[in-house]
Structure 1
């Protein structure tokens, strides 16, 4: 079995990050991915605190101007660090929101996104390599996964079925020094993508209508 069975090699970078996310991200990222089923991108952005009048259509530029500027930040034309930039789109039943600065770091946000019978997950990865995932259904948090404490063979059995399937698809990246069953710190980002069917390349993302908004 592949170490990351839900992801063809073309959809991950050399570290095991979903490649569309690493292609969006600035260097040394401190970022968040929200995924939610059954909501439109503009509504998801508003749930995350975006002002409707600032939300605009987005065409991602061909490249980043420098390593410290995320691609959504470059699309908006803002200086790195001036504000967070949220990028949203929908593929199938699932909407994704990529937060390039980790500004929407709040587990209550996931519960809000999941209101009215929806399912949502939030994957957080900090500049220090801390990582966790929150999963909520119908406005209630169902699971919180701290990657540092995750023992894949033991902990997956107790997860809700669709989240367990997502972590199984995420697998474990081939990092040196990991103990048997120990998760790499990027597993939560892969699991969020697997949950929402986002084993993609940046070219795939460019083909869907995208929205961008500054926040903070």
Structure 2
């Protein structure tokens, strides 16, 4: 696998998923990554529907009890399927919220995160392999990218500059069944991470103050 422009060695798995997300996720993930600039993690969780009283500091466990359980769910001690687990933290100007169950899949969520002059993006990857990215600024959706329809050479020039730069940094992965330069299924996750400067590993993430909350 050739490295993509915005990701150092050992920050992607063999399918091109950011390795810290792979390490958080359960097997066969159905998950979402929200990134937003200029908001604290607890506030972002509340925007997404979390109850303030349930938000707690999180130290991620070393492992999970089974492949159906994500690390955030293991930290909460919840059974798979009983609730979504949302994990949030801030690195630099950007806050991320990882949703292990896709519970916060709603375009309105990205708009709400971007309110009051902020910028936000939401990357979705479903258990069926559907992938997309929503980009919003100041409470309004600016772009929705369906990875099935994404043609990088044709579509990148019309994207907002910061989003275009994120997809350029995400690059492409040489995978069986994909043409050279074709958008793969994980490019939206890489683009969201590129936008928010989240090309990192789980060991780096463990050094960041984290919050976790059950939802749903």
Q: Same fold (TM over 0.5)?
A: yes
Deviates more, 1:114-123 or 1:176-185: 176-185
Partners of 1:151 and 1:181 within 8 A in 2:
no
For 1:81-112, what per-residue CA distance to the aligned partner results, in whole angstroms no more than 9, with x for missing partners? Answer: 11000000000000000000000000110000
For 1:40-81, what per-residue CA distance to the aligned partner results, in whole angstroms no more than 9, with x for missing partners? Answer: 000000000000000000000011111110000000000111
Cα distance between partner residues in 2 of 1:20 and 1:181: 24
May I ask how many residue pairs the two structures share in their alignment? Answer: 215
TM-score by length of 1: 0.98
Compute the displacement of 1:180 (Å): 3.9
What SS is found at the alignment partner of 1:175? Answer: coil
Which residue of structure 2 lines up, in the alignment, with residue 182 of structure 1? 182
Partners of 1:25 and 1:71 within 8 A in 2:
yes
Which residue of structure 1 lines up, in the alignment, with residue 59 of structure 2? 59
Cα distance between partner residues in 1 of 2:149 and 2:182: 9
Which residue of structure 2 lines up, in the alignment, with residue 70 of structure 1? 70
TM-score by length of 2: 0.98
Cα distance between partner residues in 1 of 2:81 and 2:204: 27
Which residue of structure 2 lines up, in the alignment, with residue 125 of structure 1? 125
Which residue of structure 1 lines up, in the alignment, with residue 106 of structure 2? 106
**Can you give the 5+ residue segments of structure 2 that lack an aligned partner in the other structure?**
none
Compute the displacement of 1:178 (Å): 1.1
Cα distance between partner residues in 1 of 2:137 and 2:128: 29
What SS is found at the alignment partner of 2:213? Answer: strand
Cα distance between partner residues in 1 of 2:195 and 2:19: 16
Residues 24-35 of structure 1 mapped to structure 2, 5 A cutoff: 24-35=24-35
Residues 205-216 of structure 1 mapped to structure 2, 5 A cutoff: 205-216=205-216
What SS is found at the alignment partner of 2:10? Answer: helix
Residues 1-216 of structure 1 mapped to structure 2, 5 A cutoff: 4-216=4-216
Cα distance between partner residues in 1 of 2:180 and 2:67: 34
**Can you give the 5+ residue segments of structure 1 that lack an aligned partner in the other structure?**
none
What SS is found at the alignment partner of 1:153? Answer: helix
Partners of 1:3 and 1:174 within 8 A in 2:
no
